[in-house]
Amino acid sequence: MSKKAPARKTGSAPSDRRQEERRTTETRRAEPRKSPAKAAPKATPDPGSGPSPLRGKEDFLLELHCEEIPARFLKLLTEDLAGRLKAWAEAQGLGALGVQVFYSPRKLAWRVLGLPTAQPDRTETQVGPPKRMCVDEAGKPTVTGQKFAEKWNVPFEALTFDLVAGKKEAVAMVVQSLPGRPTLDLLAESLPGLIAQLHVPKAMRWGASEFAFVRPIRNILCLLGEHVVPFEVDGVRSGHTTLGHRLYHREHPEPIAITDPTDYDTHLEAAGVVCSFSERRRRMKDEMEGLAWEVQGQIVKDDGLLDTLAEIVEWPKVIRGEFPADFLELPKEVLVTSLKEHQKAFCVEDAKGHLLPTFVTAANRPDDPSGFVKSGNEWVLRARLYDARFFFAEDRKVKLAARLEKLKTLTFQRELGSYADKSQRISTLAADFAARLGLDGKVAAEAGRLSKADLVTLMVGEFPELQGIMGGEYLKAEGAPQALWMAVKEQYRPMASDDAVPASDFGALLALTDKLDTLVGCFAVGLIPSGSKDPLALRRAGMGIIRILWEKGWSIKPLELAKAAFQQVKANATKGEGETLSALEAFFKDRVAFQLELAGIPPAARRSAQAVGGQDLADLKARCQALSAFAEDSRFESLGQSVKRIANILKDENPEHTVDENVLQHESERILAAHLLQLEGLTDPKAILEDLAGLAGPLAAFFEGVMVKCEDEKLRAARLSLLNRLRQAFLRVADFSQWQ
Amino acid sequence: MHIQELILRLQRFWADRGCLIGQPYDLEKGAGTMNPLTFFGVLGDKPWNVAYVEPSRRPADGRYGENPFRVYKHLQFQVILKPSPAKVQEMYIESLEALGIDLSKHDLRFEEDNWESPTLGAWGVGWQVVLDGMEISQFTYFQQSGGLELKPVAAELTYGIERICMFLTGQDNIFDLTWGEVTTDQGVTPVTYGQVRQREEFELSAYSFEHADLKLHWDLFAAYEKEGWSLLHKHKLHLAAYEQALKMSHAFNVLDARGAVSTTERPGLIKRVRDLACACARLYLGMEVEAPQGPSGKMVVA
């Protein structure tokens, strides 16, 4: 076998740099000098511009103090400006910065420790005409030469002549030295622009100004070392002071002076503001856990809510309150949702997961001197829970099935009809899918029929995130069988990548059917996600379908389900069946690839397993898992080589199956033939792989000692047949030629 | 703290801060923003400070006077400051202190809550003001109204009178609040919110949930619309036309409470109110006004 040597490029492409009259070369000092004391005084090129800046490093601090900034934008905005500051500093020759960010409801702040106080000096080289045009034969300056010197304001004698890249002969040059500018000046010039350029997702104007920002800017603190960086944004001048907590300023009317950027956080903390988000979050988490522990409970975990609480306070205080125990008759999900959505409060549960009549929430102050904060929150919570109990009682007065009529007026998708239409489709499909899985079709159809009825209940109207959960709870209260209410309750799972798929079979079936109907329906009317646009969260629905099939181990192909789902929306479809299904095929393929990655299947195993089919997820999963177990097995590398050789040998052959293998001569081929019979009898991918791995040695020996395409027709046919059957055996699990 | 005392203090406070004290507008409406003092006041470049109480009707919130927290009609105290002053947050906080709220003992937060009125073509950004976990006010920087960019921007403060009163007195039932006191020769008699309003809550809930004539309200909606456009086009009367938009809005709310408006119809109906309101805003500012296309593609007004 001859190996092709990779073509190697010799020599580089000719430079196509344009012949410019003026070129600039910048030489920067690698490291600005460490301390001002070492700075060498430098002759100033322009006597009028004052002493050159001391070279060293200073700490930089910028704080925009605003009216309360929406919590969801705090991190986004601070990180945006941090990125812009870094890019700006690089462009100014100030090097790579480490930017610390701080934020609290009224503050966005950035700090850089050790910012160079000036740009490094640079030299600029101006390239002029060729030497022969500047100097005549007698060595005297020509008019051209003098003009070039005049243009750059230097005497002719200051010109140098040398070869430069891109020129074939010596040219005239003027080397100018440009002193680096003070960082303070650069910041003062650039910060207003950097701030104005911030991408604010929902910008507002205020007062009579045209300036738009996230919320009105009321104070700007900006220091480089102890010096104020002077600039102005929308009429607010920067200074060296800031503001603490509103409560603090009731007793201390004066603003807080900051003279050193490193004091920023400690000075603010003394004025009632913990400006680090992670610090606030940490303290609140600790305090909450302590408060829950005092009542022998634990916090019902919700990282998103904890983030929100740490974003809406300047001081990380947590309070615990109680609500009347009779509200505990409400479903747990209702209490958790109501407390979270209305009061940004956590529920507390006992070791068995039963809720306690206790809640924990944040307060933006260090204490609760009169107990008003606690009693106020308790009062509001009672009102909210009273409402929730009212909804729960009202909703149960009407059976869920009696609400179906009202679904006709609730649009699912303009192109796909109402939720009544959708329920009908889901019901029919769920019964069909149940039959394929050997589940009770009647239960499936009923679950589908009732699945969306809770959308018109008061509780779901108030808390949309309780959809499904309420339907399940109300059916349970009506005395419906568990399989039915559980299916309705679980139908929206998995709601996110960290959410589990439905635990019950009918729940999984209903979730699968609902998502398929949405997905196929939308694809059929051309609502297909593209790029970052996926307003209907179809990718999440697709992922849900794949995850359910994968985790349930159901051996049905998503595309076949999609085909059945298409028949249900056919009347509304604007795209043909073929077009819709082929778009879905590609869509599913991406989701499956992602699922394999999530499941931790190594790339080699993924590639080779998918190469022989990935429609049946249960089968793909079994093969991938078996392959993963062998991923580290060195025998598989040689197996890959052998498979490629087999493919090459069989390329132009048409081997028959029915050949007399008794003609085989070599010992290695006899071993292979004997092994093959055993191999073909196996069905479990793991057992097949175990067996295949054992073939690595005999295969190597076979290629070593046997000439497949020999003269003897019979022997040749037998050998080709053997190889073909071997290949078929391989392909039942994976295409090993994709292994590497 | 009584309902009437709360209103009087807020009026005194804002009058002292340079606001005109306006009066409720005598037509049904869902919020204080719909009062022409606000709707037209925030348009244009002239400074404008005004404060007033507005009884606000939300038929779908009616609970027959049985729910201790929700009512068909509640009182909003509305303040408009145009242009929004630099110290507007501080002014607002002072107004709470004028109500007797000692902020050194409470937890006050401004949490993002953006406001939008699709019937007025208006939106703004701002906060719900939360005191000890309770939303007591809506604080908005008006960015657009009548479909027009606002320059300068007005700040709108809306106090929920009943809520604040319940909170300050620790009452669990809106109808137990004291409205005020009546002094006669026989002595002083406290009058509750329930005495003043509970029967009204029952009757108006019954009306909007059970008895309101659907055909009448559909007809009214269309008739007010026609009248509104005719007043605008033929007679250039933006205030009179705007009243028709308010009446359309209320007719819509009644239909909605009766469950007569389907989800699909909803945006279309809201748009018809908005089109008229926006046209009134344009006429007020002397801008050109075009009649919208009706649902059938025909001009609504010939």
Q: Is residue A16 part of a domain?
A: no
Which helix (H) or strand (E) segment is B26 a member of?
A: none
CATH number at residue A513: 1.10.3210
A471 and A326 belong to one structural domain = no
Nearest to B132 among A208, A210, A377 (CB): A377
Cβ-nearest to A363 among B107, B134, B152: B107
Residue A18 inside a domain? The answer is: no
Predicted local confidence at residue A258, as pLDDT: 96
Class of residue A220 by CB neighbours under 10 A (exposed 0-12, middle 13-18, buried 19+): buried
Nearest Cα neighbor of A363 from A321, A327, A324 is A321
Residue from the list B104, B105, B152 with its beta carbon closest to the beta carbon of A207 = B152
Q: Cα dist. A427→A137, A405, A484, A507, A517 in Å?
A: 100, 15, 13, 13, 11
Q: Kindly list the distances between the CA atom of residue A347 and the CA atoms of A338, A364, A473, A724, A725, in Å, as whole numbers in the listed order.
A: 10, 19, 20, 64, 63
Count each helix (H run) and each strand (E run) in chain A, helices first.
Answer: 25, 18
Distance from CA of B270 to the nearest CA of A (A): 17
CA distances from B102 to A369, A450, B94, B106 (A): 12, 52, 10, 7
Q: What is the pLDDT of residues A638-665, one digit of tens each?
A: 777 788 888 888 887 777 766 676 777 7
H or E segment to which residue A105 belongs: none
Least confident segment among A92-96, A234-238, B95-99: A92-96
CA distance B233 to chain A (A): 32
- Give the minimum alpha-carbon distance from B104 to chain A in angstroms, rounded to a whole number: 6
Residue A738 pLDDT > 80, yes or no? no
Q: Do A387 and A420 belong to one domain? A: no
Q: Of all residues in chain A, what percent carry a pLDDT higher than 90?
A: 58
Q: Where are the domains of chain B?
A: 3-204, 213-284
Q: Distance between CA atoms of B127 and A307, rounded to whole angstroms?
A: 19
* Residue A696 and residue A625 share a domain: yes
pLDDT in tens, A578-610: 999 999 999 999 999 899 998 888 888 888 888
Closest by alpha carbon to A172, among A154, A185, A187, A196? Answer: A154
What is the tens place of the pLDDT at every residue in A505-523? 999 999 999 999 999 999 9
Query: What DSSP assignment string belongs to A33-68?
Result: -S-GGGPPP---SSGGG-SPPPPSEEEEEEEEEESP
Residue A474 scores a pLDDT above 90: yes
Question: Does one domain contain both A305 and A390?
Answer: yes
Is domain B213-284 classified as CATH 1.20.58.180? yes
The closest CB to that of A364, out of B67, B107, B264, belongs to B107
The model's confidence at residue B298, banded by pLDDT at 50, 70 and 90, is very low
Per-residue model confidence (pLDDT) at position B263: 66
Instruction: Share the mean pLDDT of chain A.
Output: 87
Task: Establish if A14 belongs to a structural domain.
Answer: no
- Please tell me whether the peptide bond between B24 and the residue prior to it is cis, using omega within 30 degrees of 0: no
Q: Looking at the structure, tell me whether residues A284 and A386 fall in a common domain.
A: yes
**In a shared domain, residues A408 and A542:** yes
On whether any CB of chain A is under 8 Å from the CB of B4, the answer is no
Residue ending a domain, choose from A238, A270, A302:
A270
pLDDT classification of B291: cutoffs 50, 70, 90:
low
- Average pLDDT (A208-227) is 96
A495 Cβ neighbours under 8 A, 6+ residues apart: none
Q: What is the pLDDT of residue A682?
A: 84
Chain A residues touching B114 at Cβ < 8 A:
202
Q: Which residues pair with B142 in a beta bridge?
A: B124
Cβ of A377 within 8 Å of Cβ of B133? The answer is yes
CATH number at residue A231: 3.30.70
Residue B295: pLDDT band with limits 50, 70, 90: very low
Encode pLDDT of A312-327 as tens digits.
Answer: 999 999 999 999 999 9
The mean pLDDT value for A161-186 works out to 89
DSSP for B126-182, please give it: EEEEEETTEEEEEEEEEEEETTEE-SSPPEEEEEEHHHHHHHHHT-S-GGGSEEEEE
Among candidate residues A151, A178, A205, the one where a domain is terminated: A178
Dihedrals phi, psi of A739, to nearest 5 degrees: -65, -35
Percent pLDDT > 70 in chain B is 95
Which residues have CB under 8 Å from B227's CB, separation 6+? Answer: B244
Of A108-112, A155-159, B202-206, minimum mean pLDDT range:
A155-159
Structure confidence by residue, pLDDT tens digits, B272-290? 999 999 999 999 999 888 7
Residue A442 lies in a domain: yes
Cβ-defined contact of B105 to A361 (cutoff 8 Å): no
> Bridge-partner residues for A116, per DSSP?
A57
A562 and A428 in a common domain: yes
Q: What is the pLDDT of residue A44?
A: 34
pLDDT at site A632: 74
Residue A149: inside a domain: yes
Distance of alpha carbon B194 from alpha carbon B173, whole angstroms: 9
Q: Using omega within 30 degrees of 0 as the cis cutoff, is the peptide bond preceding B83 cis? A: yes
Can you give the CATH number for the domain in which A669 is found?
1.10.730
Query: Domain range for residue A522?
Result: 400-598
Segment 159-198 of chain B within 8 Å of chain A by CB: 167, 170, 172
**CB pair distance less than 8 Å for A376 and B132:** yes
Q: With 60 as the cut, is the pLDDT of residue A681 above it? A: yes
Residues of A whose CB is below 8 A from B262: 409-411
Residue contact A250–B104, C-beta within 8 A: yes
Burial of A146 (0-12, 13-18, 19+ CB in 10 A): middle
DSSP A223-255: EETTEE---EETTEEEESEE---HHHHHH--SP
Indicate the residue of A206, A375, A382 with minimum beta-carbon distance to B141. A206
Q: Is B84 on the interface with A (CB under 8 A)?
A: yes
**Contact predicate B116/B102, CB 8 Å:** no
A68 neighbourhood in chain B, CB within 8 Å: 109-112, 127
Q: Is the separation of the CB atoms in B25 and B54 below 8 Å? A: yes
Report yes or no on A40 lying in a domain: no
User: Taking Cα atoms as reference points, which of B180, B177, B138 lies closest to residue B160?
Assistant: B138
pLDDT for the residue A40: 37
pTM equals 0.76
Phi and psi of A362, rounded to 5°?
-95, 155
- CATH number of the structural domain B3-204: 3.30.930.10
pLDDT of residue A390: 85
Whose tokens are 């299947």? That residue is A601
User: How high is the pLDDT of residue B277?
Assistant: 97
Model confidence at A33, pLDDT cuts 50, 70, 90, reads very low
The per-residue b/e assignment along A314-342, b for 16 or more CB within 10 angstroms, e otherwise, is: bbbbbbbbebeeebeebbbbbbbbbbbbb
- Contacts of B92-97 spanning 24+ positions with Cβ under 8 A: B92/B129, B92/B137, B92/B139, B92/B157, B93/A246, B94/B13, B95/B10, B95/B13, B95/B14, B95/B157, B96/B131, B96/B136
Nearest CA among A320, A466, A318 for reference residue A392? A466
**Domains B3-204 and B213-284 belong to one CATH topology:** no
In the predicted model, is pLDDT for residue A217 greater than 90?
yes
Helix count (H) and strand count (E) of chain B?
Answer: 8, 11
Same-domain pairing of A421 and A551 = yes
A449 with A538, same domain?
Answer: yes
**Do A158 and A187 sit in the same domain of this protein?**
no
CB A469 within 8 A of CB A457: no
Least Cα separation, residue B237 to chain A (angstroms): 29
Q: Which residues of A touch B85 (CB under 8 A)?
A: 207
Coil, strand or helix: which one is A699? Answer: helix
Number of domains in chain A: 5
A492 and A511 inside one domain: yes
Query: Does one domain contain both A591 and A629?
Result: no
Verify whether the Cβ–Cβ distance A207 to B83 is below 8 Å: yes
Q: Write the pLDDT tens digit of every residue in A174-186.
A: 988 888 999 999 9
> Which residue among A354, A375, A395 closes a domain?
A395
Task: Tell me the C-alpha distance between A217 and B132, whole Å.
Answer: 26
